[in-house]
Amino acid sequence: MNDSIWNKTLLSIKNIIDPLPFNTWFSNIEFIDIQDDKLRLCVPYLLYKTHIEQNYKEIIIDNFNNNSSFKINDIIFILKENLNEILDKEKEKTETKDDVDKYKPKKAINSNLNKNYTFDTFVVGESNKFAQAAALAVAENPGKMYNPLFIYGNSGLGKTHLMHAIGNYIEEKHKKRVLYVTCDQFLEDFMGLSRKNNINNNNLDYMEFFKSKYRDIDVLIIDDIQFLGGATASQQEFFHTFNNLHNDSKQIIVSSDRSPDDLKFLEDRLRTRFCWGLQVDIAPPEFELKVAIIRKKLNGEKLKINDDVINFIASNVGNDVRQLEGSITRLIAYSVIMGVNNPTLEFAMEALKEFTKKTSGTDQNNIRRIQKSVANFYKISYEDIKSNKRPPNIAIPRQVAMYLCRKLTNESFERIGIEFGGKNHATVMHSCNKIETSLKSNMELKEAIIHIEQELK
């Protein structure tokens, strides 16, 4: 059909130029094809290409467009001696692309999302409400707000739940392509590039498949990024994947067991990029949140559990959500097996003795214990040390308590701030720095801190 259009174009040109130049320059032109908006023509020699471009190019374009329903904007002239080589390379490239396309993920990709993890099933408390709010903001405006979103905190505190909740929300509300993977899965896929030659015996095909999986999406959610540390080639590939998605305003959500600054095994350029958006910390649940989680877990169960049992579990079973949920599962199963519908406190203590042993077997310095020790030493109330009161007899003990919490626990500034009545990161950091400076010259303060530390041992 395009060949026919070209013949009509030649007839039109023949009617407007003299026979001699037409026969000289046009009789040896061969039509090749049309690519996008460009007409490709084959000419015998470089002289033809130069002369026709300078004198007849616009005439050819105008007459071709007059004889065709689609328009061209340019002409590419290919020398006869180069034509076969160019066409062979293009054919090989087309065949390779067709093979790769067979392995590309479909538009409706497998997101790997757990449909049970939603915002509705996430229990919110003081220790996680900021992270939950940030996650919801990202879910409502993917790629536009807080990109990347970096969620960090100890294992079992709800990071994975929040990430799945974001993905499920975006899939449902925005109909976008979401991919959730663990860092281990990313590494496994990437290692396929070096060990797999099983797709048409061409590793290039697998590279295209890999890039399509991780880049032809709208949202990438990657869990436990700390495991990327030390794998130089994998870090480089993730760096390029990150840039590709971020440059296209695709949402990136990352989780870790520590903040970007503490990911020492990651390249600086990656840690820097994790700080481009928003970093949120999920801290261990406070007592009230533990109670709420337990009640949520018990919702719909036939078992009747009184407040004494619930408070016992919240006070004695671990500091993460998984342990709490595991203890409830254990108590329910134990009650069913023993034929008990209304477990007493003594029954619960027996059923959960393995859970409580794990907690009580360690003499950890937790924040609340440090707060109470400092308050007792300075003869102020526990409530005062968590308050916003500013008199020196309260403010200084509060700063000492914050300093000891940072020194004696693994808690972040954000988490410590939450336990001191919702103080922010900067306030806690300032308090710690002030005490550290004072210790260099204030012997009374130094002796006080030594005494408190001994009490905590």
On the CB side of 17, how many CA atoms lie within 13 Å of its CA? 18
Q: Taking each helix axis from N to C terminus, what angle separates 183-195 and 232-247, rounded to the nearest 10 degrees?
A: 110
Q: Output 168 or 86, whichever has higher pLDDT.
A: 168
pLDDT at 330 over 70: yes
Task: Return d(Cα 445, Cα 434) in angstroms, integer.
Answer: 12
Region class of 289: left (phi > 0), else alpha (psi between -120 and 50), else beta:
alpha
Which residues are CB-contacts of 233 (< 8 A; sequence separation ≥ 6)?
A: 190, 194
pLDDT digits (tens, 9 = 90+) for 33-76: 888 778 899 999 888 898 999 999 999 999 988 887 667 889 99
Rounded mean pLDDT of 341-356? Answer: 86
Terminal C-alpha separation, the chain = 90
- DSSP code per residue over 4-33: HHHHHHHHHHHTTS-HHHHHHHTTT-EEEE
Residue type at 393? N
Give whole-number Cα distances, 239 to 129, 267, 303, 325, 425, in Å.
30, 9, 50, 36, 29
Residue labelled with tokens 């460009």: 38
Q: Would you say 403 and 446 are in contact if contact means Cβ atoms under 8 Å apart? A: no
**Using CA atoms, how far apart are residues 50 and 48, in angstroms rounded to an integer?**
6
The 10s digit of each residue's pLDDT in 416-450 is 887 887 787 788 989 999 999 999 899 999 999 99
Are 148 and 253 in contact by the 8 Å Cβ rule? The answer is yes
Q: What pLDDT score was predicted for residue 304?
A: 84
Question: Under CATH, which number does the domain 287-360 receive?
Answer: 1.10.8.60
Q: What are phi and psi of 62, to 5 degrees?
A: -65, -45
Question: What region does 442 belong to: left with phi over 0, alpha with psi -120 to 50, or beta?
Answer: beta
> Which tokens is 254 given?
């990352």
CATH architecture of 2-101: 2-Layer Sandwich (3.30)
Question: What does the pLDDT read at residue 87?
Answer: 85
* H-helix or E-strand spanning residue 457: none
Give, as one character, the DSSP assignment of residue 112: -
CATH number 1.20.1640.10 given to 367-456: no
- pTM for the structure as a whole: 0.55
Contact criterion met (CB below 8 Å) for 29 and 42: yes
Tokens of 35: 């690519």
Cα-atom radius of gyration of the chain, to the nearest Å? 34
- Cβ atoms of 355 and 326 closer than 8 Å: yes
For residue 142, give the nearest of 217, 37, 66 by alpha carbon. Answer: 217
Q: Minimum mean pLDDT among 176-185, 227-236, 368-377, 378-387: which range?
A: 227-236
Under the banding of pLDDT at 50, 70 and 90, the label for residue 115 is: very high
d(C-alpha 336, C-alpha 187), whole Å: 43
- Looking at residue 132, what is its pLDDT? 93
Is there a shared CATH topology between the 2-101 domain and the 129-281 domain? no
Q: Which amino acid is at 24?
A: T
Lowest average pLDDT, out of 111-125, 154-168, 181-195, 322-336, goes to 181-195
Residue 157 pLDDT exceeds 50: yes
**CATH class of domain segment(s) 129-281:** alpha beta
Give me 241's structure tokens: 């994947």
CA distance 225 to 441: 42
| Angle at the Cα of 8 from the Cα atoms of 4 and 9, rounded to 5 degrees | 115
- Whole-number Å distance between alpha carbons of 457 and 452: 9
At 216, is the secondary structure helix, strand, or coil?
Answer: coil
What are the residue ranges spanned by the domains of the chain? Answer: 2-101, 129-281, 287-360, 367-456
Contact 77, 52 (CB under 8 A): yes
